[in-house]
């Protein structure tokens, strides 16, 4: 088990895909390569993993590059965007906003960046709305 998550200490077998994706337990993105003889050092010597990381040569510490903000600043249901594009092929969808209108505000990558689809805001009202208006 040559890798340990530096956040929660979970161990991963050699060749585990989780080391490339992120720790399934805590979402940690940094892993320390541990040799078999040092596997239990953190527990037996009561050395915090952070210290082991500091002592380890750079090539033993594997970190997954973070391309976009992993945690949005606000929960999506409170935010103004309809859809947030977190990266190529990765989306968060605010179905409560979609249930209200077709108007599209697209969140882009990092929090605080938006695209506004003005065309979607100029569309005529739908059938239900028209029917209500006629009833009035």
Task: Give the residue from 82, 136, 86 showing the smallest Cα distance to 111.
Answer: 86
Question: Mask 102-121, x = binds another protein (CB under 8 A)?
Answer: x-x-----------------
When computed from its CA atoms, the radius of gyration of the chain, rounded to whole angstroms, is 23
* 11 versus 102: smaller Cβ distance to another protein: 102
Stretch of 25-33, 46-54, 58-66, 88-96 contacting another protein, by CB under 8 A: 88-96
Count, in order, helices (H) and strands (E) of the chain: 6, 8
The H or E element that residue 2 is part of is none
Stretch of 24-32, 41-49, 54-62, 75-83 contacting another protein, by CB under 8 A: 75-83
Q: List interacting residues with another protein (CB under 8 A).
A: 21, 76, 82-83, 88-96, 98-102, 104, 126-128
């Amino acid at each position: 088990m040559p890798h340990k998550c530096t956040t929660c200490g979970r161990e991963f077998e050699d060749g585990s895909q989780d080391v490339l994706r992120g720790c399934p337990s805590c979402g940690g993105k940094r892993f320390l390569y541990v040799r078999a003889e040092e596997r239990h050092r953190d527990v037996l010597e009561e050395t915090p993993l952070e210290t082991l990381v500091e002592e380890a040569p750079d090539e033993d510490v594997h970190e997954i590059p973070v391309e976009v903000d992993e945690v949005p600043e606000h929960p999506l249901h409170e935010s103004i965007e309809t859809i947030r594009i977190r990266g190529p092929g990765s989306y968060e969808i605010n179905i409560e906003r979609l249930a209200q209108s077709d108007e599209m505000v697209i969140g882009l990558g990092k929090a605080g960046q938006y695209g506004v689809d003005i065309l979607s805001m100029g569309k005529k009202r739908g059938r239900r709305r028209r029917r209500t208006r006629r009833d009035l």
